A and B are shown apart, each in its own frame.
Chain A
Amino acid sequence: MSETKKFKLTCIICPLGCTIEVVMEGDKIISVTGCTCPRGEEYAVQEVTEPKRVVMSVVKVKGGMFPTVSVKTDKPVPKKLIPEIMKKLVDVEVEAPVHVGQVIIENILNTGANIVATRPA
């Protein structure tokens, strides 16, 4: 028998902020309680197995209107990779023109997510 673990989470899907309790036995999820919608349940399961977030930053740009162009991951990436992704972005420099949605780095750290521009330059 593996150990039973309880996780208490606050849902971040919508402004309601439900308190969700997840009970796990080893790697198996036994119950998810407290959420008021299916998206909340999905979030809770994701959060206890592999939490993910969208990451945002700015990277240097040459010849643009501003010295930087803002970027984000085009889908949520594993939370534990965030510091490494941020380090990768430090040395990135792109050249203007850049358009919104332009891929700056493809498939960053094999996450399947691209770093895309969110501001033109």
Chain B
Amino acid sequence: MQNEYDVVVIGGGPAGLAAAIKSKELGLKVLLIENREFIGGIPIQCVHPGFGLHYFREDLTGTEFIYRLIKKFEEMNIDHYTNAHVLEILPYSYRHRILKVVTEKGILNIKAKAVIYATGARERHMFEIGITGHRVAGIYTAGEAQTMMDIYGIMPGKEIVIVGSGDVGLIMARRFTLEGAHVKAVIELMPYPGGLTRNVVQCLEDFGIPLYLSHAVTRIEGRKRVEKVIITKVDENLKPIPGTEEELECDTVVLAVGLVPYLKVIEKAGVIIDPATKGPVVNSYLETTVPGIFVAGNALVINDLVDYVVEQGEEAAVGAYEFVKNEGLPAMKWKKLVKGRNIRLVVPHYVSEAKDVMIYARVAKPEENVRLRFPEIGKEMKLPFVKPSEMIRIKLRKKDIAKAGDKITMEVVPNE
């Protein structure tokens, strides 16, 4: 392996594998760096179905989905390091950057024209959601519990309380129950479940697992191991109501309270972060504000579906290809995507009429019978409902983008 590449992909999950495969298909010299001992990322531990309906048009488990990508990656003989960690990305010239990488062979300096950052997300922990109490054994994030149970075959506990009713929390409730643990409750801060209705039905109702809405876990107690949690009702401002405390005995607390793009290395490289997505600000090639650094998958924005993650990986590869071919992305007129009524976040942040663009957005609050509108380009469509937990994915055509001036507003309005 030489230490000079057209593109270095950081992260060997679905976004990174898709980016590496597409880069190689486009004729780029590509290296992929993964920090676990194996490539594949999070889907390796997702043994439940619901993956790939868009991308492969089949309902696959996470494991089946990712092994299709891994197989392709391996067949293409793409250079890669596992057990390797990128310390920093240093500027070298406008066209090159240097990656300092810790590998089993020592610290390497790798020169790359473009970088695709696909490191995924980290899980939010108890301290970020105001849980106090004892730091005892038996507190896991959903991902940790899933790694133990579904890769290493070790049960994390017997009497389990799950914090958070997003799809991750719901799916974990079902997995624990199937494997013989007793899920005592799923605790949700909001007055509605965070995940899809179908998951509430097939993961909780199927097994009679209670869901506490408008409740928070405020304290974890125990001596060596978790012994109980204190749960409290919350008011409409999500503040705990004194006097409503209840105790739930359990030996394990599983935190499924959301993901945050994992950006440590590119933050240091100086990319600008969008406070709404908590991911980098990007243009329609998924290039960050540091030229030559591209981003895809959950490092860009927290996605609902692995299919979208793969799509973004491929898009970032196209961006990197344009960057390498033209020694920098060609100058173009960027138009800002502006968040209008009931839009909480949208990526990419800037689009141009050079190509069709897939955009991904989330609403701020649930609404029924609405229209999604882009007033500047005269595009609109009816939607039966919108929810924060369901990403809106829609393609903007270049001929439509051309109609706009310097901005395109996206908004959700009631359907009158």
**Chain A residues proximal to chain B, CB less than 8 Å:** 9-17, 53-58, 60, 65-68, 70-72, 79, 82, 86, 100, 118-120
Q: Which residue of B lies closest to A67 (CB)?
A: B153
Q: A56-B49, A57-B47 are in contact. Are A118 and B61 (CB under 8 A)?
A: yes
* B61 interface neighbour in A56, A82, A120, Cβ under 8 Å: A56
B246: interface (CB < 8 Å): no
Residue pair B150, A12 in contact (C-beta under 8 Å): no
CB-based nearest B residue for A69: B63
Q: Is there contact, CB below 8 Å, between B150 and A68?
A: yes
Interface members, chain B 168-219 (any A CB < 8 Å): 175, 178-180, 196-198, 200-202, 205-206
Nearest-Cβ distance from residue A108 to partner chain B, whole angstroms: 14
B196 with A86: CB separation less than 8 A = no
Question: In the complex, what residues of A have CB within 8 A of residue B200's CB?
Answer: 10
Q: Is the CB of A79 within 8 A of B206?
A: yes
Docked CA distance A66–B38 (Å): 10
A-B contact count (CB 8 A): 77
What residues of chain A lie closer than 8 Å to B178, measured between beta carbons? 55-57, 82, 86
For B140-169 the 0/1 string (1 means CB < 8 A from A) is: 000000000111110000000000000000
How many B residues are at the interface, by size bracket?
A: 20 to 34
Is there an interface contact between B149 and A58, defined as CB atoms closer than 8 Å? yes
In Å, the complex CA distance between A9 and B152 comes to 36
Q: Judge whether B360 is part of the interface by a CB distance below 8 angstroms.
A: no
CA distance A48 to B202 in the complex (A): 15
Partner of B151, one of A14, A53, A68, A72: A68
- Residue of B44, B49, B390 near A54 (CB, 8 A) is B49
Is the Cβ of A66 less than 8 Å from the Cβ of B198? no
B100 sits at the interface (CB 8 A): no
Report the separation of the CA atoms of residues A10 and B121 in the bound assembly, to the nearest whole angstrom.
31
**Alpha-carbon gap, A56 to B46, bound state (A):** 10
Q: Do B197 and A17 touch (CB < 8 A)? A: yes
Residue of A nearest to B207 (CB): A82
Which one of B67, B175, B179 contacts A100 once the chains associate, using CB atoms below 8 Å? B67
Cα distance A58–B149 in the bound complex, in angstroms = 8
Contacts of A120 in B (CB 8 A): 67
Q: List 7 A-B contacts (CB under 8 A).
A: A17-B198, A54-B49, A56-B175, A57-B178, A67-B151, A71-B47, A72-B61
Q: Which residues on the B side are within 8 Å of A60 (C-beta)?
A: 153
- For A68, the chain B residues whose CB sits under 8 A away are 150-153
Interface centre among A14, A55, A56 (most CB of B within 10 A): A56
Given A56-B49, A58-B149: A15 in contact with B198 (beta carbons within 8 A): yes
- Complex contact A86–B179 (CB within 8 A): yes
**Does residue B64 face the partner (Cβ distance < 8 Å to A)?**
yes
Q: Quote the shortest CB–CB distance from A100 to chain B (angstroms).
A: 5
Q: Considering the chains assembled together, what is the distance between the CA atoms of A56 and B201 in angstroms?
A: 17
Residue numbers in A under 8 Å from B175 (CB-CB): 56
Option from A58, A65, A86, A100 in Cβ contact (under 8 Å) with B150:
A58
Q: How long is the Cα–Cα vector from A60 to B152 in the complex, in angstroms?
A: 9
B-chain residues with CB within 8 Å of residue A100 when the two chains form the complex: 63-64, 67
Shortest distance in angstroms between A36's beta carbon and chain B's nearest beta carbon?
A: 9
Q: Is B47's CB under 8 angstroms from A58's CB?
A: yes
